[in-house]
Amino acid sequence: ARRPRRPHGGGRGVAAVQRGSACGDGLRAPARDPAVQPRQCAPSRAGGRRESLVAGASLFSRWLQVVLSLKEMGVARPEALDWLDPPEPEAVHAALRQLFLLGALDGRGELTAAGAAMAQLPLEPSLSKTMLTAAALGCRDEAASVCALVCGEEVFCRAGPPWLREAAAESRLHYESADGDHMTLLSAYEDWALVPHYQREAWCAERGLQGRALRAAHSVRTQILSLLSKSGPRGGGEEATAAHSAAEARARCRRAICAGHFMHAARRAHAVRAFVTLGEPPQTVQARAGNEQLLSSATHVVFSELAWVGRLVMQHACAVEPAWLQELTPRLAEAKRVLRLGGVGGHWRGDG
C-alpha cells in the first residue's frame, strides 16, 4: 500500500492520497502530525478535555483533504474502502459536511465544479475555497500570498539568540494589523518582496524574519496562481476586473478568507477581552498573545483552528464584517436539512 503524502508545497498537517493508487487496497488513515500537537500545560480535567478537542480538530483537518481527493477520484463512499486503519464514521461524516458547506459537494455528496477546482490546488479545502472566492472578487494576488504564508513555516523567528527574538518581536509589532494575523503576514511579505534578491537575507536577519519561510511562501504562491489560472474561474464581472486600492483589495481578501472559514467564527464577548464561538457548543476563545489590536477593534472574527496553551487561542484569526457571515450562515441551515434528508454522508447513517 502506498503511503499518504502531503499536497505539493503546502497544506501543513494535511495528508492526501496519491493519485492513481488503487483506492480499495489498504489505505491508511492519516496519522497525527507531531507538528500540530497541542502544547502541553499543567494537567487538569478540563484542560485534558480541551487538549483532546484541539488534537481531534487537527486530525479532522487532514481528513478534509483525504475525502476531497477520494471524491475527485470517483469514490462515492470513502468510509467503505478497505482501510488499514478504518476511520471513525463520524470523522468521514464531518468531513463530508464541511466539504458541503464549502461548496465542494452537492446535496447528494457528489463533487461540484468548485470542488474539482479546489482539489487541484495545493491547499487544504478551506484555503482553496478562499482562493476561488478571491478570484471572483478580484484579489487573487493578495489571497495567494496569504494562503501560502499561513500553510508554511512561522515567518517571525521564535528561536535563536536574544537579539534575533527581540528583532522578531519588534517586527511583529511593526506589522501588526487590526484586521488580524493574515494581514500582518501579508504586510511582512509585501515588504520582503520589494527588497532586491541579493539583500533579502541580511534584511530578514535585521528584522528577525525567517528568509526560508518567505522564500517557500513565494514559491507556493507562484504555484497557486499558476494552478488557479488553469482550474479556477475565468474572466469575471466588474468586481473581478476593476482596479482596487490596496485597502479595498485587503478588505476583499478578508471577505474571501471569511468564505473559507465561516464555520469557525466568533463574536466579541461583552464582559471580557475575549471572543465566543458562534458554533455549538459556544466556547470562550482568545486571540494570540500580543494581538491587542484585534482584541480592541474587531467585533467578529474567523479562524483556522484552536490551540490549547492553558486557554483556547485562535490560530490565524481574521477580522470580518457581520454582514459577510450573515450571507454565509444560511448554508449551515441547508447542511442540517440535507443531513436530515439523508443527503451528504447519509448513506452510512442508514438514512439514504
For the stretch 244-290, pLDDT in tens is 688 999 999 999 999 999 999 999 987 677 899 998 788 999 888 77
Q: In sequence order, what are the beta bridge partners of 156?
A: 209
Angle at which helices 125-137 and 211-231 pack, to 10 degrees? 70
| Percentage, residues of the chain above pLDDT 70 | 73
Res. 351: pLDDT tops 50 = no
Q: How far is CA 110 from the centre of its chain?
A: 22
Res. 99: pLDDT tops 50 = yes
Whole-number Å distance between alpha carbons of 81 and 60: 18
Q: Measured between alpha carbons, how far is residue 225 from residues 24, 89, 132 in Å?
A: 33, 35, 11
Whole-number Å distance between alpha carbons of 221 and 145: 6
Extract the runs of DSSP E, i.e. beta strands, from 191-311: 265-268, 275-277, 284-285, 300-302, 305-308
Of 257, 278, 255, whose CA–CA distance to 266 is shortest? 278
Supply the pLDDT for residue 339. 63
Res. 10: pLDDT tops 50 = no
The residues spanned by each domain of the chain are 1-30+55-107, 125-231+249-329
Q: Is the pTM of this model over 0.95?
A: no
Q: How confident is the model at residue 199 (pLDDT cuts 50, 70, 90)?
A: very high
Res. 348: pLDDT tops 80 = no
Please, what is the average pLDDT of the chain?
78
Supply the pLDDT for residue 277. 93
Supply the pLDDT for residue 33. 41
Supply the pLDDT for residue 340. 57
Contact at 8 Å (CB) between 193 and 121?
no
Q: How confident is the model at residue 36 (pLDDT cuts 50, 70, 90)?
A: very low
Res. 210: pLDDT tops 80 = yes
Q: Which of 27-31, 44-48, 292-296 has the highest mean pLDDT?
A: 292-296
**From 104-108, 175-179, 341-345, the region with the lowest mean pLDDT:** 341-345
Alpha helices in 122-179 (DSSP H): 125-137, 140-150, 162-175
